[in-house]
Each structure stands twice: as structure tokens, then as C-alpha cells.
Structure 1
Amino acid sequence: MSESGPSQRRPSVNAAEGLASDEDAAVLAKLGYKQELRRNFTMIEVFGIAFSIMGLLPSIASTLAYSIPAGPVGMVWGWFAASAFIFVVGLAMADLGSAMPTSGGLYWWTHFFASPKTRNPLSFLVGYSNTLGLVGGLCSIDYGFSLMFLSVIVIARDGEWEPSNGVIYAVFLGCVLCHGVLASCLSKIMGKLQTVFVVMNFVLIFATIIALPIGRGSQRNSAAFIFTETANLTAWPSGWTFMLAWLSPIWTIGAFDSCVHMSEEAANATKAVPYGILMSIGSCWLFGFILVIVIAACMTPDYTSIMGSVYGQPMAQIYYDALGKRGTLGMMSLLFIVQFLMGLSITVAASRQSWAFSRDGALPFSGFFRRISKRFGYIPLRAIWGCVFLAAVLGLLSLIDPAAAQALFSLAVAGNNVAWATPILCRVVWGQHKFKPGPFYTGRFSVPIAWLAVAFLAFGIVLCMFPVGGPNPDAQTMNYTVVINSAVWGGALLYYFVDARKWFQGPKITLAEGDLTEHQEEILKEEGLDVKIDGIAPIVSRDEENNADGKKVKSGHFNPQ
């Protein structure tokens, strides 16, 4: 958008290139960043990318191994209870996302709210945990796609073929590379595609809700079975088996931070981000609850036959029992298509977090990855392919052992839980006096909500590290999540204290001289900021350097105090 008139004494780079409205660019400038990405996403499309990544039914299908051992009660009430707590986490994040919407929001908020002594190491830890957590999520989704895709072949061959680890990885690699190509070439319509992805998700949801009860006919289970029947297929006590069933919704409803990472591409981000977070969680809470009720009503009471299905997927067995071979092939095909769309959406979200972290100089080769491609539509092209390459390398663990691969992919839960909990905790412990609410705010309930969110996220970290089968695992059934995640967190902190503490000072300023129009400056003044011609006041330790376009930039860091 561009403006003309006597009140504007110089053109805005953002307006001239059509990247953002003055209001959105000014909100971002308040955080120290110039607008570099084009704001293609509406509020509904921001919701769409989170809902698409969650991929409700494919994710439920991929995580039935956590909930079925606790029986229908674990599936149904475990889903409802855990989703309620996840919604509380969403409320806490929505408060922050509305107040300070930026692609690197989680580590930015951590740095802003933490104490002077802890802000740099904690921000560094959160940035790495979130970045690797998102890439781990990409690995997990695409690995799940490869298993679903290959299960269709197994069904077609009547269970007489079993894919090797090499075949699974080959399909995984092809999927990851396709996501890299599509995320690079479809940037101009990526926002609109999210609406298509949401529609595809609901087509699959309603097809399942309708087809399964019809297919099972008179064999459907009773209400007493659905809502009161318990089971325990593990060596844990029944109560803890029920808690482990919470891992299904925790894994599924785990992509709402993607709304934060897309905030610099969202129009009216201060409202789009919080509502995207809450709409995606709320939709999964409701429709997921309906789905698990339908699945519990239509599955065979013989849980072991479902868990040990020759088709390699419990959901494939449930479909087969209700719909037969042809119906199962159709539903599983639709299932892996939606799973593929999930992977594309998380590739986009992961690349934005990686780009934001490299913009602040924290990732290796940051100068290379932080560049924006104008030719491909103002997107972080190099960051996209950096995520693709890392996912392809990490996926090699699937060649070793499924248990090792599963532990790596758990970064999507444990890694992101640390990244979500830390800024919320920093705000209520050190920075509540600095918190200025945005258009969305939970008011007097904000602090209690934040504490409850932190407690649940801490519980989720512990929960995902337990061996699912029982307290005495062997090498095949051991949960290596604690090993993988401890290596990530310990490695990030070791890297910081050995080397990065010498140069990492938190989020950088990227505003160039003359980036702000007079109208944008007026908006910032209304926020109480002393705006100058060459930047904004909360910049310290300034020294000039050239940015990628050759402009003089006032570089430095915010002083949150």
C-alpha cells in the first residue's frame, strides 16, 4: 500500500513493495524489525496453517498406539481432558502473540521478559529448541506419511508384503523433497491453499464420521463401552496408562505456535495470531472429541488385534473391519493425502522460525539463511531448503531403528513444550510489569492461566519421556526421548556458554534508515516510543553495517529494561 500527501515526507519501502499496511509494518517496527515478508495470510488462513499442520484425523490415526492401550475411556476422556489443558496453553500464548507478533516470537518474548542475567542463554535455548522441534515435527509428519502410504500397498497385497526401513526412508525422503519444492514455488498462493487444506481435512473427518458407523451397522459398541470401558495393555498401573493416552492429543494439537511464526506474513497480525491459535485448538478439541467417540463406537473390542494389525496401522485395521478392503484403500488414500498437506504446512512454518532465528544471527551460516528471495515471492527460500536438508539427514535414523526415529521425532513435543513454557514463565516471574496487552487479552485471568499453562507443559515434557509399554523396557521398547532432547538442550546451552555468549545478544534491529513513513512514526509515537528519523529509540550499542541490499542499517539490540 502507498500513501500520498503532505504528511508523508518520504516513501515507505514496505508500502512501495506492497508488503504490508502501515499499521502492520509499524507494529513490527516497534519490535525492531523491518517488514521483509509479504503479508499474504488473512486471519482465516493463519488459522488454516495451524489446523492443517495438526491434521486432526491423520494425527489421531498416527497416535492411536498411545490411547488404545487405555481403552475407550483413555481415548475419549483422555482426549477431552488434555485438549482442555492445551486450550489453556493457547490462551497464554495468544496473550503474548497479540501483544508482540513476530516470526521469532517465542525466543523474542523470552529475551524481552527474562532477567538481565538469564535473557541471553534462555533466548538462545528457546530458539534452538523451537527450531529443532519444528524440524522434528516435519520429520514426524513425513515419516507418518510414508507409513500410511506404504500401508495402502500392504492392504492392496492382502498383508503379504512388509516394507523395509530403506523403503520407508526412500518414501520419506521423496516426501520431504516435494515439500521443499512446493513451499518454494507456491508462496504467492500458500495462504489461499490453507483454506483448501482445511476443507480437505473436514472432508476426511466427515467421511470417517459417516462411513464407520454405516460400515459397522449392528456391530457398533454401546454408550457404556464408549464412555466407561477401561483397559490396560501396558505394564504400568491403569491410572498411568490413562495419563499416557493424553499423548495422542498432545502430539496432535501441537502446531498452534505456527500462527506466531506466520505473524510477519499475516494481515492485522495482532488479531489474526491469537484467533488463529484459539480457533485451531478449539476446532481440534471439538472435532477430535467427536472422532474418538466414533472410533470407540466402531472399533472391535479386541484391542490387541488392532494394535498388532498386519497392515501396520491401527486405523487401517479399524477401517478394514468396518469398510472392507476397497473402502479401506479409499479412506487410507485420503488419509495420506491430508498427511502430505500437513507436512507442506509445517515446512512453511519451520522455515519462518529458522529464518527469524538466522535474522538474529543465532544459527550457523545465519548470513546465508537469513536472505529473502524476491524472485520467489519474498520468502526465506534458503531457510526452506535448510529445513528440508536437516529433516532429510535426521530421518536417516529411521534406517537404524524405529525406536530411535520415534525419539528424534519427539522433539515436536518435548522441544516445543520447552519453547512454549519458557517465555510464559519468564513473563510471570520477571516481566509482568513490562507486559502491555494487545487487542486480545484474558485480563485478570492472564497470570493464573499462564501458571497453569506452564505446569501442564512441564507435565507434558515428563509424560512424553516415559516408555509407553511399561517400567522395564528393553533396547527395542525404550523411549530415547530423554536422550535426544537432553542432547539438544545441553548442546544449545554448551554452545552458548562456550562460544555464542561472546556474540549473541538477543534479537537484532533490522530497521534501515528511512524505512518508516511519517504515518508509521506517528503510530509508534502513540505507543509511547521516541521515534527518530533513522530508527526508533529502544536501540542500544548501535554501529552501522550493510544489510543484504547494501543499505546502511542501524544494527544493535533492544534494551528491554
Structure 2
Amino acid sequence: MHVKHDPERQGSLVGVAEGLASENDAAVLAKLGYKQELRRNFTLFEVFGIAFSIMGLLPSIASTLAYSLPAGPSGLVWGWFVASAFIFIVGLAMADLGSAMPTSGGLYWWTHYFASPKTRNALSFLVGYSNTLGLVGGLCSIDYGFALMFVSVIVIARDGEWEPGNGIVYIVFMCCVLCHGVLASTISKAMGKLQTAFVVANFILIAATIIALPIGRSSQRNDAKFIFATTGNLTTWPAGFAWFLSWLSPIWTIGGFDSCVHMSEEAANATKAVPYGILMSIGSCWFFGFIICIVIASCINPDIESVLGSVYGQPMAQIYFDAVGKKGALGLMSLLFIVQFFMGLSMLVAVSRQSWAFSRDGALPFSSFFNHVHSRLLIPVRAVWGCVLVALVLGLLCLIAPAAAAALFSLAVAANNVAWGTPIFCRLVWGGKKFVPGPVYTGRFSKPIGWAAIVFLIFGILLAMMPSGGPNPTPQTMNYTVVVNSAVWGGSLLYYFIDARKWFTGPKITISDVELTEEQQVAIREEGLEIEGLPRPGESSDGEDGVAELKHEKA
């Protein structure tokens, strides 16, 4: 969004956000109705870093090989390339919005701003809950993947003579989530700098893998025909649909780019850092993921079914073992789960910011408790631990059965696809005249890109609902995503229409009458906002410094 360079207006904003943000960043946020409460200590590269570390390219590919390998080596390779191209289109559509209106609760804020007057409150409520629980589901699936990788190292060390039960896996998962909570609460000042270290760790793992695997399998590497032209189908679906299911690997892997949006209020020069962070993270995963998939396809045992059924519990562990032996597999798998651990930490930081923003707008239970920002750390510590608690409860699914645990993966896909697609749809259908582009904008291609993104996101939701093994699943192979997501979507809408519609009116303003000058109030209204509860220009304040509701004018 273009910032009006009014020295008097911007100078007073510095008083609001003194020591936390630049004048321009504070002004952009004020136009959205919020005061600066978090410290903007994330550079553009660090915003990219948190998204890229959440994606955790190689660990995520390893965690989702069960989706891509059944379609054969060409399914692994070309499924990644094609799906990543569509995900980049989604990123372009979101970059347009992130550059124009960067705020931590961007997805539900944009929905409310662009939607029709009759639908905006309900849709904003749905998107907020879908995004929050989808991100928590992503945290659960990342840390569950960590737990499986961790125990697979023990299985390798014991030569496959030990098999962990679901209870052991959950204990490892629980310890991982709790550790993330402690770290996210105590090293907040260094979190931006750590993203650089996490990116470096990711590339060290990628380099080690793409060097070690071809060397280890030098006499047994597969040829180009096997890599690029050999299809397979280890499901009972038609072969073509099995190839589409391989898209779930990149769809789940490259699913953390909205974290750039949630870090908006901690990003310097957010109108550029947010969109570039989105596009850089998706583009990097698209390119390097394609290389990784080619290397895996060239070095994998041609008997793919035996790799998927590995005694080590992880196909990637078997691939490493076949290439570099026991000691090499132990080393690479250890590095793999360390990077996966970093993924979970970055994800917790992102989901806590979304939860905090949604609480700031009064939408979550106990919002007045969770919207608190720690006065010394300047982070939402209570929101961090609230997300930890929800993750531990959702993680109990892994005690039931692997099929129930797998729902955590697709919860992150289906719920977030709804959260990403809804504001894009609202902008295209109702909000075209209200959209003011930011510094990063796709121009005349913006609307076609938006519609292409929506079609792909709907298709991704349908894929996430399908049983991966075939059309006639047993209770053990059933995909429970439809159950989990129906609970999320149906529950949030039921909550809204029964109770929340009485008090949820969309995003709330957090700038008080003391902090806003009359000029600022006029400037905010010029951005399409109507402020209720704050004195109009020329009127005297009633002395109350409460939080006022923020409503969007009808388009």
C-alpha cells in the first residue's frame, strides 16, 4: 500500500512505535488500524528464512515420500515440478495482497476488507480459525515427522530389531513441542538471526544428500529413462490419479509461505519484505526440490515398494542406508531430524503470531488473555504456549493409528488452502475497486493469476481428502482429513452463527484516541476504514482509551 509522506502524521506515529519500527512501517500498519506492538527485527532475508526453514525442503520431501513414490520415479520428479509451478502462482496472488496490506492477521483481515457486507464477518471468522488450526496442524505434522525420524535413527542403530510403538512416538513428539515452546519464548531477540542459521543448515543437508547419494550408488544409479519416464502405480486408483496424488508432497512441503504474512508486523520494510519472502521461499523450494527429487530417483532402489515398506519406518532412511551404509545413514538421518526440529520452531513462531493477531481482534476463546504482549520480550508469549497446548492435544491422534496421524498432514493442506483462497476470491469478486496495489504487484496479470490460484487451491483440497491407497479404504487406510476439517470448518461456522455473530464484527482497531491525531483518523478513513468508538475530527474525546471496533466501508 502506498504510504502518504505527511511529516506531521508520520512524526506522531514515531511516538506510537518509538524504538519498534520505522516511520513508514508504522504508518502502513496504522492505516490498517493497528499500533506497533512488536519489534520489527526481521530483514527481508530473515522473512524469507522463516518461510524457507518452515518448509524444510529435504525433511519435508522425506516425510511425504509415501505420497509421491507410489506414482513411480517420474511421479516424484514431474509431480514436484508441475505442482510447484501452481504453488508459485498462488504465491504471486498472495504477494499482491501482502505488499498492499501487510499485517500479522493478513488472511482474515483481507477477507473482511474485500468481502461483501453480508458475508464479511462469517468469512473472516472462518478464515481466521481455518488458518490458525491449519498452522497448528502443520506444527503437529512437522513435529510428528521429527518424532518418526528420531526413532528411525534408533531403529537403524539397532539394526531394525526394535520397533517403536505409538506411545513412544507421541512421547518424542511431546518433548519436541515442549522444547519448541521454551525456545520460542526465551530466544525471541535472536529468532530473526537464527533464521539465517536455519537456512544454512537446510542447504548443508541438501548439499550432503545430493553429493553422498550419487557417490554411494555410483555403480547402481538409475538411468534417465527410469528417472523421467518411468511411471508406477502402487495404489488402486487409476495411474493418472496416482500421479496427481504425488502433488501432495510439494503441496504439503511448500505450505509455509503464509508465515511471511504472519511476520508482517516484525518485518522491516514489510511492503516489500513480505511479498519477496513469499516468492523467494516458493521459488527456492521449486528449484532445489526438483534437483533433490531427480537425485532421489536416480539413486533409489528400483523396487520402490520395498523402500516404502522399509523396516526403518522411513523411506528416506532406507534410501540413505542403501547408498551410504549404516554409519552414513545414521549421520544423514541425524542431520535430517535436526533440520526438521528447526522447521517446527519456526512454525511455532509463525502460528503464535497468527493466533495473537486473531486474539487481538477478539475472535479466539480467552482472547483477552492470549492477546498479551510480554513487556520485556515484546513477543506474544501466552499465544506461544496456547499453540503448544493445542498441538499436544491434536497430536494425540498419533496414538490412535497412523491413518489418524496422517490427517495432521492433510489438515495443514486443506485448512490452509481455504484460508489462502478465500481472501483472493473475495478480492476478485467483491473488492476490485477497493484494492490499492503495493510496491510489489503483478499488474494486469493479477486477476488471471488470482483465478488460477483459486482453481488450484480447490483441487488441492480435494486431493487432500482422498485416501492415498485407493477408492475403497478400510478403517486403517481411510483418510480422516474430511472428518478433521469438517470439525474445523463446521465447528467454527456453528460457533459464529450461534454466538460469535453477536459480538464478532471483524478486525478491531488498537490505536487509541490518545495515540491517533485527528489527521491520522482522517487518513485511516481515507483508506476505506470507518472508526467507531474514537472521536471524530473536531469532537472531544470522552477520555476512554479502549479498543475500538474497526469496520470496513461498503465497496
Please confirm whether the aligned pair reaches a TM-score higher than 0.5, indicating the same fold. yes
| Residue 241 of structure 1 pairs with residue 242 of structure 2 | yes
SS of residue in 2 equivalent to 1:558? strand
Quote the residue 1:547 is aligned against. Answer: none
Alpha-carbon displacement from aligned partner over 1:180-222 (angstroms, at most 9, x marks no partner)? 0000011101000000000000000010010000000121000
Aligned CA distance change for structure 1 residues 207 and 7 (closer, same or farther; 3 Å)? closer
Q: Distance in 2 between matches of 1:170 and 1:514?
A: 50
User: What is the identity percentage for the equivalent residue pairs of Structure 1 and Structure 2?
Assistant: 74
Written as runs of structure 1 = structure 2, the 5 A alignment for 1:49-88 is 49-88=50-89
Written as runs of structure 1 = structure 2, the 5 A alignment for 1:294-309 is 294-309=295-310
Q: Distance in 2 between matches of 1:308 and 1:481?
A: 23
Alpha-carbon displacement from aligned partner over 1:280-324 (angstroms, at most 9, x marks no partner)? 000000000000000000001001110110000000000000000
Quote the residue 1:553 is aligned against. Answer: 546
Q: Distance in 1 between matches of 2:504 and 2:63?
A: 39
Written as runs of structure 1 = structure 2, the 5 A alignment for 1:223-372 is 223-372=224-373
Quote the residue 1:450 is aligned against. Answer: 450
Q: Distance in 2 between matches of 1:517 and 1:194?
A: 37
1:388 maps to a residue whose letter is: V
Q: Per-residue deviation at 1:560?
A: 3.0
SS of residue in 1 equivalent to 2:532? strand
Q: Per-residue deviation at 1:88?
A: 0.1
SS of residue in 2 equivalent to 1:231? coil
Written as runs of structure 1 = structure 2, the 5 A alignment for 1:503-542 is 503-515=503-515, 529=524, 538-542=529-533
Alpha-carbon displacement from aligned partner over 1:393-417 (angstroms, at most 9, x marks no partner)? 1111111112112113422100000
Contact 1:251 1:413 in 2 (8 A): yes
Contact 1:10 1:514 in 2 (8 A): no
Quote the residue 2:49 is aligned against. Answer: 48
Contact 2:512 2:534 in 1 (8 A): no
Alpha-carbon displacement from aligned partner over 1:148-196 (angstroms, at most 9, x marks no partner)? 0000000000000001111101000000000000000111010000000
SS of residue in 2 equivalent to 1:278? helix
Q: Per-residue deviation at 1:513?
A: 2.8
Written as runs of structure 1 = structure 2, the 5 A alignment for 1:192-211 is 192-211=193-212
Written as runs of structure 1 = structure 2, the 5 A alignment for 1:407-418 is 407-418=407-418
Q: Distance in 1 between matches of 2:49 and 2:529?
A: 35
Aligned CA distance change for structure 1 residues 215 and 362 (closer, same or farther; 3 Å)? same
Q: Give the TM-score of the pair, scaled to structure 2.
A: 0.95
SS of residue in 2 equivalent to 1:539? strand
Q: Distance in 1 between matches of 2:380 and 2:176?
A: 20
| Residue 162 of structure 1 pairs with residue 150 of structure 2 | no
Quote the residue 2:539 is aligned against. Answer: none
Contact 1:52 1:341 in 2 (8 A): yes
Quote the residue 2:176 is aligned against. Answer: 175
Q: Per-residue deviation at 1:344?
A: 0.1
Q: Distance in 2 between matches of 1:263 and 1:373?
A: 18
SS of residue in 2 equivalent to 1:48? helix
Q: Distance in 1 between matches of 2:162 and 2:512?
A: 60
2:507 maps to a residue whose letter is: P
Q: Per-residue deviation at 1:9?
A: 7.9
Quote the residue 2:491 is aligned against. Answer: 491
Contact 1:74 1:245 in 2 (8 A): yes
Aligned CA distance change for structure 1 residues 349 and 64 (closer, same or farther; 3 Å)? same
2:552 maps to a residue whose letter is: N
Contact 1:466 1:479 in 2 (8 A): yes
Q: Per-residue deviation at 1:552?
A: 1.0
Contact 1:12 1:517 in 2 (8 A): no
1:559 maps to a residue whose letter is: H
Quote the residue 1:426 is aligned against. Answer: 426
Q: Distance in 1 between matches of 2:40 and 2:393?
A: 31
SS of residue in 1 equivalent to 2:179? helix
Q: Give the TM-score of the pair, scaled to structure 1.
A: 0.94
Aligned CA distance change for structure 1 residues 223 and 37 (closer, same or farther; 3 Å)? same
Contact 1:94 1:274 in 2 (8 A): yes
Contact 1:371 1:382 in 2 (8 A): yes
Q: Distance in 2 between matches of 1:7 and 1:451?
A: 38
Q: Per-residue deviation at 1:448?
A: 0.2
Written as runs of structure 1 = structure 2, the 5 A alignment for 1:104-183 is 104-183=105-184
Aligned CA distance change for structure 1 residues 512 and 236 (closer, same or farther; 3 Å)? same
Aligned CA distance change for structure 1 residues 137 and 7 (closer, same or farther; 3 Å)? closer
Quote the residue 2:380 is aligned against. Answer: 380
Q: Per-residue deviation at 1:515?
A: 2.6
Q: Distance in 2 between matches of 1:55 and 1:295?
A: 16
Measured on the aligned residues, the alpha-carbon RMSD in Å equals: 1.8
Q: Distance in 1 between matches of 2:39 and 2:111?
A: 26
Contact 2:33 2:524 in 1 (8 A): no
